[in-house]
Structure 1
Amino acid sequence: MDTSSINIYKNLLTLSLSFTLVFTAYGSLQNLISSLNQVQGLGVASLSCIYGGFILSCFFGPTLIKRLGYKFVFVTGWFCHCIFISTNFYPKYYTLVPSSILLGLISGAIWTAQGAFLTSLATKYATSRSSDNPTKAGEDISRQIAKFIGFFYMLFQSSQVWGNLISSLVLQSPAVNSNKTTGSTHVACGAAFCPYEVDHNLNASRFRENHEEPDKTVYILLGTYLGCDVLGIILTILFMNNINESKCDKKTDLGEINETSVLAADHDDIERTNDNQNDNEARKHAQIKDLELPENVLLSLWSTLKLMCQPSILLITPLFIFSGAEGAWLFGDFTQAFTTCTLGVSTVGYTMIGFGVSGIVISFLTSRLEKCIPRLAMFIAASILNIGVLLTVHFWHPQSETMWMFFLVPVLWGASDTIWLTQISSHIGINFSANKEDVFAIWRLWQAFGQMISFAVSHYVCMNTKLYTLMSMVVLSMVLFIIDNIKNKKVASRGA
């Protein structure tokens, strides 16, 4: 294996492991926050603020990436994660909400950079392997994108396993009578659950009464999460190469980004350009000039808004929104209305481990089956899984005698969630390679919008209404995606 390939794999592994470490902390805390901070809906309010900020950050995410490069976007994002975890040591509206907004304002850039960086690494790898055969390189790019995305999500989804295992081991204490802490005798659990009917103040006082050292337990948990974030920062700083996306702005004669010419250069090539001092100085002055022009940010914003209005983007926008809403339902609603309400908060981590394991397995399978199974078929399978789970929990009356259901739902939901994430990412990387940063930003924007709305109304809407809404969303998303798929095939046949 040549040094270029080794460098690509090093960056892929660093990206995947740093995301796994940081989201081991964030993902687990997200599962628990609606249960731990129930008073006045503080938990879901903070999550809503995160995804509200996320929406705004998606507009300037591509510009930020081009100015700072992928590496420093990730490092900045991990520092903001540290701040968010730290404010949970003293969760009040005036501490948690500002840190949530700050985290949201960088999250759009983080996830835009993640999708674009993976696509760039895969394209570069396919190009370097087939440098003497451009036709073969073009055919290999889509396959490598699928493999790289599958590898990333295989490690990333394991964060649910580690994070929830940590939370379960820390929160599982003989001093805790979990069922008493939930106030389950005062509210109906499951599909009949209505958050606003819960007496949060009563529950919070009972939570304190039934823990001998509640603050110490929570501090141990948050301290562990903070350690994961710090490790993610160190890993990114030490092992990830910084690639400034402004180098990818060159155009071909057809007006598209020439990724082959830009991404074929390996890290050693980038370092060798230091010999040309004149070019470097010219580039630095150009970048400084760009930073001084706010018009560039406005142009980037306008470009993103125009792209959002294209028919090919509009048709898959409901799918983007649903990919956020379906995750928010499991993390914020299922864990509170079913698991915590029936079994207690200390059980949430154990049940959600199945979500992570399922994600790992499905990520591995989709990266290898994508060349055999059409993407549309995978989307339809995910839709059937979602609808099947939503119908099942609608008629299910959760109780400890049906313990297996608390594990089965996250497993099935994790399978469908992974299909949505990997296949949407592949769809964008393959079909929108010329402006991948902008389209990834649009996806994350609408995904964050779905999550923000879900968390914002979570405290005021009963579970039955949420179930009907999600079923309607998945049906609408698939109908429009099928229309888009048919339209693309007609365009391709005309081109042929």
Structure 2
Amino acid sequence: MESADSREEEAPLVVGELPKNHARDVHVLSFAFLFIFLAYGAAQNLESTVNTEHDLGTTSMGILYLSFTLFSIVASPMVRMLGSKRALVLGTTGYWLFIASNLKPSWYTMMPASLYLGFAASIIWVGQGTYLTSAARSHAKDCHLHEGTVIGNFNGEFWGMFASTQVIGNLISLVLLKNGEEGKSTTGTTLLFSVFLGSMTLGTILMCFLNRRDIKGEGLNMPYDSFSSSVVSLLKYVISPLCDKRMLLIIPLLAYSGLQQAFVWAEFTKHIVKPALGESGVGGAMAAYGASDAICSWFAGRFTSGLSSITFIVSGGAVLQMVVLLWLSAEIQLD
């Protein structure tokens, strides 16, 4: 059992001999995420405004991210067992089901879909990081390039494409909802989520064209000699990161980021954008938000590349966000 545990601890998430066409795989991965998240991102922004009965939209998002948090604990071993490509394809099914549930929103459709999406999201994001890093390392090795440079370039392409999802998806929402009465006509939410479902389907199909980047049996299949050994192995995966002080220090930042995103996606769209611009205005406002996010992310990346510590920019960003939140609070009170 000790030898099995030692092999498991030494097994890397990204492994040896990899296929060719590494840049091509990154292009496919980036476009797949574009089609999937332009639909999901825009739908997420609308949940608290289109599914208002008994706060169905807000509650579903809460269930989703609670599930995401819990399943993230076991996402890494799941990706090891499945392989990064299978994990990516499996992850897309959760997003597809969530969008489909919005075509017939109810507690019986959206709650299970949100719960499953939390699991799927944890799998797809670990799989994405594993796959992208694997492609970058292999490309650097084959082309005799600096690994850090290739990882930066591949990540730049992926995240640049991903940042555009907020712009494209929300512009689609703006166009399709502007003529609908509160988004409930045929040209409103039904058509919108049908278009989003088509985009999801295209993204899922693209995922299937990725090359596999894992060698069967090498570092991917966790040893399950007995039930007790499997439980011990899982506990090691869960507990070991919490013994790293760097992980403990980053937890408050993750919590802050989650609260900030929850405010933008739920409270900001429902209580600020919708009363001022109407339901169709949510898409336009969030498209502007996404464009600003993409541009500022590019400048921040350039600005921080020469810094020895990110403390300054993180602190500066927190102060700017606090100023904006206080300004919005003052505006709400005046209204």
Report the TM-score when normalising by structure 1.
0.59
Find the aligned partners of 1:354 and 1:245 in 2 and give their Cα distance: 43
Instruction: From the superposition, tell whether residues 304 and 124 of structure 1 become closer, same or farther in structure 2 (CA, over 3 Å).
Output: farther
Find the aligned partners of 2:231 and 2:79 in 1 and give their Cα distance: 12
Find the aligned partners of 2:169 and 2:334 in 1 and give their Cα distance: 25
Find the aligned partners of 2:315 and 2:95 in 1 and give their Cα distance: 35
Indicate conservation of the 8 Å contact 2:164/2:294, yes or no. Answer: yes
Indicate conservation of the 8 Å contact 2:95/2:117, yes or no. Answer: yes
Which one-letter code corresponds to 2:119 in the other structure?
L
SS at match of 1:316: helix
Does residue 18 (structure 1) correspond to residue 24 (structure 2)? The answer is: no
SS at match of 1:111: helix
Residue 4 of structure 2 aligns with which residue? none
Does residue 320 (structure 1) correspond to residue 254 (structure 2)? The answer is: yes
Deviates more, 1:220-229 or 1:77-86: 77-86
Does residue 168 (structure 1) correspond to residue 174 (structure 2)? The answer is: yes
Residue 79 of structure 1 aligns with which residue? 93
Identity %: 29
Instruction: From the superposition, tell whether residues 5 and 360 of structure 1 become closer, same or farther in structure 2 (CA, over 3 Å).
Output: farther
Residue 93 of structure 1 aligns with which residue? 107
Instruction: From the superposition, tell whether residues 13 and 367 of structure 1 become closer, same or farther in structure 2 (CA, over 3 Å).
Output: farther
Instruction: From the superposition, tell whether residues 221 and 48 of structure 1 become closer, same or farther in structure 2 (CA, over 3 Å).
Output: same
SS at match of 2:60: helix
Indicate conservation of the 8 Å contact 1:44/1:332, yes or no. Answer: yes
Find the aligned partners of 2:242 and 2:234 in 1 and give their Cα distance: 12
Q: Which residues of 2 match residues 216-235 of structure 1 at below 5 A?
A: 217-235=188-206
Note the C-alpha offset of 1:398: 9.1
How many residue pairs match? The answer is: 316
SS at match of 2:256: helix
Report the TM-score when normalising by structure 2.
0.85
Residue 318 of structure 2 aligns with which residue? 383
**Ranges in structure 1 where 5+ consecutive residues have no aligned partner:** 131-136, 177-206, 250-285, 401-496
Find the aligned partners of 2:211 and 2:172 in 1 and give their Cα distance: 31
Residue 116 of structure 1 aligns with which residue? 130
Residue 345 of structure 1 aligns with which residue? 279
Indicate conservation of the 8 Å contact 2:173/2:280, yes or no. Answer: yes
Indicate conservation of the 8 Å contact 1:15/1:236, yes or no. Answer: yes
Query: In terms of Rg, which structure is larger?
Result: 1
Indicate conservation of the 8 Å contact 1:150/1:363, yes or no. Answer: no
Q: 1:46-95 deviations in whole A, cap 9, x for unaligned?
A: 11111121122212211111111111111111122111111111111111
Note the C-alpha offset of 1:115: 2.2
Note the C-alpha offset of 1:141: 3.5
Indicate conservation of the 8 Å contact 2:134/2:213, yes or no. Answer: no
Instruction: From the superposition, tell whether residues 397 and 320 of structure 1 become closer, same or farther in structure 2 (CA, over 3 Å).
Output: closer
Note the C-alpha offset of 1:120: 2.9
Q: 1:450-471 deviations in whole A, cap 9, x for unaligned?
A: xxxxxxxxxxxxxxxxxxxxxx
Indicate conservation of the 8 Å contact 2:92/2:124, yes or no. Answer: no
Find the aligned partners of 2:20 and 2:333 in 1 and give their Cα distance: 50
Which one-letter code corresponds to 1:151 in the other structure?
E
Note the C-alpha offset of 1:150: 2.6
Indicate conservation of the 8 Å contact 1:70/1:245, yes or no. Answer: no
Which one-letter code corresponds to 2:291 in the other structure?
V
